Structure 1
Amino acid sequence: MKIRRTTLEDLDEILIIYADARAFMKKQNNPSQWGEDYPRRELLESDISLDRSYVCVLDNRIVGTFYFEVGVDSTYMEIFEGEWLDDAPYAVIHRIASARDSKGVASFCVDWCFNQHPNIRIDTHRNNNPMIRFLEKNGFMKCGIIYIENGDERIAFHRIK
């Protein structure tokens, strides 16, 4: 597998990955985290134009996608019912998703991110049990609650390499 920046030509493929991820979340009793249409094409186009969107490729096929940025995330400015592991500069991962029939993609993507930056924050919906298990298995610590731009609650995780 390899990681590269997403291009506009990748959009249709990653939209399918996100649609499959939403269907999976619904089956896992988590229908509201991404709803019917998150992330929207316009958001992904913005991520691409800002060089913050990445794809994971295996045998010339996109098998995963995610947002990665080194820097302050406004939704992480306040944390409730806990605290971050430290106040050092950090990177964030958002919107990580893998193709329906793939294995090990999310771990590969997270490992790649840690090779870019040793301090990473991420969040997920409290009903996203597969993601919570994945994060805990991959060394992330549950730190508290954050609220995203629309006011929805998320569980905040943090890992320092």
Structure 2
Amino acid sequence: MNRTITKANPQQVDDIMNVIAAAKKIMRQSGNMHQWADNYPTTDVILHDIEIGGGYVVEDDGTIVAYFAFLPSPDPTYAKIYEGNWIEDTLPYHVVHRIASYPDAHGVFKSIMDFCFAHDSNIRIDTHRDNQIMQHVILKEGFTYCGIIYLLSGDERLAYQKTK
């Protein structure tokens, strides 16, 4: 298998939305009933990621199997952290958002993190309290739980950071 990660383009949005639909199905099946509700992320959110140069696709042998956003700091929702502290809070960082993959695409999170750490040594990520799958892979990849952040909507997220 040949796995590649490249910047997404607008022509790939339908394929990306199919990946997101599959990821939502996995979330619901695993008991995560509230994350990515109300049609989030929308096509407009993905197109905005692409427009600002932060949307990426993971392809296995030329077929899109995953999507993620890799965005430079500052992220306004990361400005305040509650019940904890960031590991490093003075240097620029990148944030990884909207990771979605097909259930049969294995090792995607590790591939994404290898890609991200090749571009920045300070990465932050967050997930919903009910997303046990994501919490597991985040910790497995060596991230440290740092505390709680709140999205612009007011929703709580568990926040993690890893520096190299």
Give TM-score, length-normalised by structure 2: 0.96
Partner of 1:31: 33
For residue 74 of structure 2, what is the aligned residue in structure 1? 72
Percent identity of paired positions between Structure 1 and Structure 2: 41
Q: 1:7-35 CA deviation, whole Å, 9 max, x = no partner?
A: 01110111011001111101111110111
Q: Which amino acid aligns with 1:103?
A: H
Report the Cα distance in structure 2 between the residues aligned to 1:107 and 1:31, rounded to whole angstroms.
Answer: 25
Give me the whole-angstrom Cα distance separating, in 2, the residues matched to 1:144 and 1:14: 30
Deviation of 1:100 after TM superposition, in Å, equals 2.5
Structure 1: unaligned runs, 5 residues or longer: none
What is the SS of the residue equivalent to 1:150?
coil
Worse-matched range after superposition: 96-105 or 116-125: 96-105
Deviation track 1:98-131 (CA, whole Å, cap 9, x = no partner) reads 1232111121011100000000000000010010
Q: Find out whether 1:100 has 2:72 as its counterpart.
A: no
| Contact kept in structure 2, 1:22 and 1:36, CA below 8 Å | no
Q: Deviations over 1:131-156 (max 9, x none)?
A: 00100000000000000010000000
Aligned to 1:127: 130
Q: CA deviation at 1:43?
A: 0.8
Whether the aligned pair in 2 keeps the contact of 1:17 and 1:100 (CA below 8 Å) is no
Q: TM-score, normalised by structure 1?
A: 0.98
Q: What one-letter code is carried by the residue in structure 1 that aligns with 2:44?
A: E
